[in-house]
Amino acid sequence: MTQKAFALVLQDLRDGRTHSELTVGMKELLAAVRDTGKAGTITLELKVKPTARGNEVSKVVITDKVTIKAPKPERGDDYFFVTDDDNLSRNHPRQHTLDLREAGSGKPVELKEAMQ
């Protein structure tokens, strides 16, 4: 008697839903690995329980669990200054602001026009 291939059992499990979940999960995992440059995992856990006691087990229940641990992108840091009254500010609390204005039209001016 030959053993049924595991891939065939996997395709039969929960009418193919486990296989589909693994297929979709693998695509999502590959995208996350490519986007972050970090490793991830996909895990299939199968629990096999007998439906009867003793040596007369002719039927089993198989429970599956698919776990995908996709890598997360770096979130980065953000800097703030703490004010004297313990609030957060984007601007240094003891540094003056520089009022900026538009410098002009942006067209170059001839020297003799500037002298008139």
- pLDDT number for residue 102: 80
Domain ranges in the chain? Answer: 6-69
- pLDDT number for residue 94: 79
Whether pTM > 0.85 for this model: the answer is: no
- pLDDT number for residue 38: 96
Tokens 């839903």 correspond to what residue? Answer: 17
CB atoms within 10 A of CB 4: 9
Listed in sequence order, the DSSP H helices in 3-110 are 6-12, 17-36
Averaged over successive runs of 10 residues, the pLDDT of the chain (116 residues) comes to 93 96 97 96 97 85 97 91 89 80 71 62
Nearest Cα to 93, choosing from 105, 80, 102?
Answer: 80
